[in-house]
A and B are shown apart, each in its own frame.
Chain A
């Protein structure tokens, strides 16, 4: 291979990207239509656009002060659906921070904000 072509390839390779890989995205979630109420454990359904490897995914509850708590989750009945189990919470602002591994090999991190109502 030509020397200059080698240089081009090396340079190209050095230009590596720091993508926030985000191929798997949440296309729908139950919080849009059903709020969570205080002092009662609940569930949130997250629907992704891609198959998700649940064993390699993590979903956290974020409380005031950005304190993280790992939540348990299970696969839903529909394809790409995950059921997140939410503990009993007090009224206030919270978020779900998730790190999911999609079947196509991409790792995605994202956040969904929500309020807990009285």
Chain B
């Protein structure tokens, strides 16, 4: 069961950050944006109670996540060390700090539910809630990356906590905006509140972003000491992904800001209600992914510690170099024959068959996706140019392009982990639950298959109000998350990184695919068309990366 424990251990970091943003970001929102004690026109009990409920739920689940982290550590250590980790574990900072943080967070949750909820307009109660949160924030400093460092330990711990605070202020605020929009949609709050609070948050969000940069930059400079470290290590790569995701989120924030300014200048109301909410929804996709990437980053060794395992920028670029896709696979017998030597510790023999098997899988998946993206583009066209007019009768069939996902799912089911069931000798349950990587592959396979079925149904349904089309962006974002956090065990650190860099790039494009499709479904013209084009272009780009994929020999 080590695979599941490993799997859950990585998951819990992202969930922890989401709950942290809900709780702490919600407090910032209440204190600095909402300011209920000012009795702004339009504020009502529903708004205040919903706001506090989000903070309470965030704090409660944060406490649960923190406690579950400790259980997972015990589970993981028992599995890996093959013995019960107590009493040694009880004296570690992780255990003591984790228990303290759990209790302090629980205290915050209880205060919000029992006291703040019944005094929601009292400034002193909001300030007390913030004061109750402070010890929890301080205790969290002993659980971060920096706590194990030898140099500048306390400075780095403090910077990390302030970085998390700034991120929570921004992301938690975006969660509250989504909450506000839903209340507005269900007519539980006045229409005027939406532009009013959006405008207030706009200023607050800008300050938060500046604080994220001010606190994040020194941390980055401490952990990454060269350009090569930024480009050629897993730590640097995930940091770059974070920067890209943050830029994407800021792009949406910029669009929102423009709409707010237009509203303030000329009273232009349309974008505030027909575009901004959907930009915020897409921004939420990006920010949730950003939090999981941040959690993943914390498990990477800092670039400064692994100079001998750092790839050069030429090696990184080479992973994207165009090559002829490999369309023949080594036999399964050849692959299995090389496995014993490949996984041996003493006398390890790299397996060419294993490398070629993997190249074939990735390249064929790339051909699937580029072909699908071609048909997806075709499905948007009503008529082809004159020289190709004879193909016009075939255009209606292009909408069946999601069938390609079903085919890809079946292909991956047989090919992903050849040493396991159905092709290999290791049983289905044994491989799935004892190996986190196999478990991830199984989920990805199911995801691709289900994605195809849902999207096909969505494209064929005649119901105008069908919710089926919204499944695709969710699952595509999910796929992006898997790619961004996917690991490759059994490789040397440098080889693992060179594989990771392609997967993280595809993860970013998957997120663009998801956001593009979401906005295509939600926006009006012309934004809808741009978003749809960007979405399909992202799918095409993922296909291209896969087609040129080459795995290091190991």
Q: What residues make up the interface of A, taking CB atoms closer than 8 Å to B?
A: 1-2, 4-5, 7-9, 11-25, 27, 49-51, 53, 55-56, 58, 62-66, 79-80, 93-95, 97, 99, 101-107, 109, 111, 113
Find B485's partner among A9, A15, A99 (CB 8 Å cutoff): A15
Contact residues, B133-159 vs A (CB, 8 A): 143-150
Residue of B nearest to A95 (CB): B345
Find A24's partner among B148, B489, B496 (CB 8 Å cutoff): B148
Residue of A nearest to B296 (CB): A17
A23 with B298: in contact, given A2-B182, A8-B285, A66-B346 (CB under 8 Å)?
A: yes
Structural contact, A5 and B178, CB atoms closer than 8 A: yes
Q: Do most interface residues of chain B lie in helix, strand or loop, or is the interface mixed? A: helix
Structural contact, A17 and B440, CB atoms closer than 8 A: yes
Measured CB to CB, the closest approach of chain B to A21, in angstroms, equals 4
Structural contact, A107 and B77, CB atoms closer than 8 A: yes
Other than the given A15-B478, A19-B485, A25-B305, 12 more pairs (CB < 8 A) read A2-B182, A9-B18, A9-B288, A14-B443, A15-B481, A20-B489, A21-B6, A23-B145, A49-B149, A49-B302, A51-B150, A80-B150
Residue of A nearest to B305 (CB): A49
Residue of B nearest to A66 (CB): B345
Structural contact, B178 and A2, CB atoms closer than 8 A: yes
B188 at the interface (CB under 8 A from A): no
Q: B479-496, CB under 8 A of A: which get 1 and which 0?
A: 001100111110001001
B275 at the interface (CB under 8 A from A): no
Structural contact, A64 and B347, CB atoms closer than 8 A: yes
Structural contact, A50 and B148, CB atoms closer than 8 A: yes
Structural contact, B92 and A103, CB atoms closer than 8 A: yes
CA–CA, A4 to B18, complex, Å?
A: 15
Structural contact, B346 and A15, CB atoms closer than 8 A: no
A101 with B299: in contact, given A15-B485, A19-B485, A79-B150 (CB under 8 Å)?
A: no
Structural contact, A18 and B3, CB atoms closer than 8 A: yes
A-B contacts, 17 of them at CB < 8 A, read: A1-B179, A5-B284, A12-B288, A15-B478, A15-B482, A17-B292, A17-B296, A17-B440, A18-B437, A19-B6, A19-B485, A25-B305, A25-B306, A49-B149, A80-B150, A93-B347, A104-B144
User: Chain A interface: which of B80-88, B355-363, B416-424?
Assistant: B80-88
Find chain A residues with CB under 8 A from B182 CB: 2
B14 at the interface (CB under 8 A from A): yes
Measured CB to CB, the closest approach of chain B to A20, in angstroms, equals 4
Structural contact, A101 and B345, CB atoms closer than 8 A: no
Structural contact, A64 and B346, CB atoms closer than 8 A: yes
Residue of B nearest to A101 (CB): B77
CA–CA, A25 to B497, complex, Å?
A: 15
Find B346's partner among A12, A25, A65, A109 (CB 8 Å cutoff): A65
Contact residues, B43-96 vs A (CB, 8 A): 54, 57, 69, 73, 76-77, 80-81, 85, 88-89, 92-94
Find chain B residues with CB under 8 A from A50 CB: 148-150
Contact residues, B421-463 vs A (CB, 8 A): 435-437, 439-440, 443
B15 at the interface (CB under 8 A from A): yes
Structural contact, B92 and A16, CB atoms closer than 8 A: no
CA–CA, A61 to B289, complex, Å?
A: 40
CA–CA, A86 to B470, complex, Å?
A: 60
Structural contact, A4 and B281, CB atoms closer than 8 A: yes
Structural contact, B478 and A16, CB atoms closer than 8 A: no
CA–CA, A71 to B393, complex, Å?
A: 73
B534 at the interface (CB under 8 A from A): no
Find chain A residues with CB under 8 A from B292 CB: 12, 15, 17
CA–CA, A49 to B474, complex, Å?
A: 39
Structural contact, B299 and A19, CB atoms closer than 8 A: yes
Contact residues, B349-390 vs A (CB, 8 A): none
Measured CB to CB, the closest approach of chain B to A105, in angstroms, equals 4
CA–CA, A80 to B306, complex, Å?
A: 15
B549 at the interface (CB under 8 A from A): no
Structural contact, B485 and A17, CB atoms closer than 8 A: yes
Find chain A residues with CB under 8 A from B475 CB: 11
CA–CA, A114 to B284, complex, Å?
A: 50
Q: B97-119, CB under 8 A of A: which get 1 and which 0?
A: 00000000000000000000000
Residue of A nearest to B440 (CB): A18
Find chain B residues with CB under 8 A from A111 CB: 345
Find chain B residues with CB under 8 A from A62 CB: 345-346
CA–CA, A68 to B81, complex, Å?
A: 13
Find chain A residues with CB under 8 A from B57 CB: 1
Find chain A residues with CB under 8 A from B146 CB: 104
B477 at the interface (CB under 8 A from A): yes
Find chain A residues with CB under 8 A from B145 CB: 23, 104
Residue of B nearest to A110 (CB): B493
Structural contact, A22 and B300, CB atoms closer than 8 A: yes
Structural contact, A18 and B439, CB atoms closer than 8 A: yes
CA–CA, A63 to B344, complex, Å?
A: 11
Structural contact, A95 and B474, CB atoms closer than 8 A: no
CA–CA, A80 to B301, complex, Å?
A: 14
Structural contact, B8 and A106, CB atoms closer than 8 A: no
Structural contact, A103 and B147, CB atoms closer than 8 A: yes
Measured CB to CB, the closest approach of chain B to A44, in angstroms, equals 16
Most interface-central of A8, A25, A27, A66 (chain B CB within 10 A): A8
Measured CB to CB, the closest approach of chain B to A109, in angstroms, equals 7
B175 at the interface (CB under 8 A from A): yes
Structural contact, B478 and A18, CB atoms closer than 8 A: no
CA–CA, A52 to B57, complex, Å?
A: 35
Measured CB to CB, the closest approach of chain A to B180, in angstroms, equals 10
CA–CA, A84 to B41, complex, Å?
A: 70
Find A12's partner among B3, B14, B306, B437 (CB 8 Å cutoff): B14
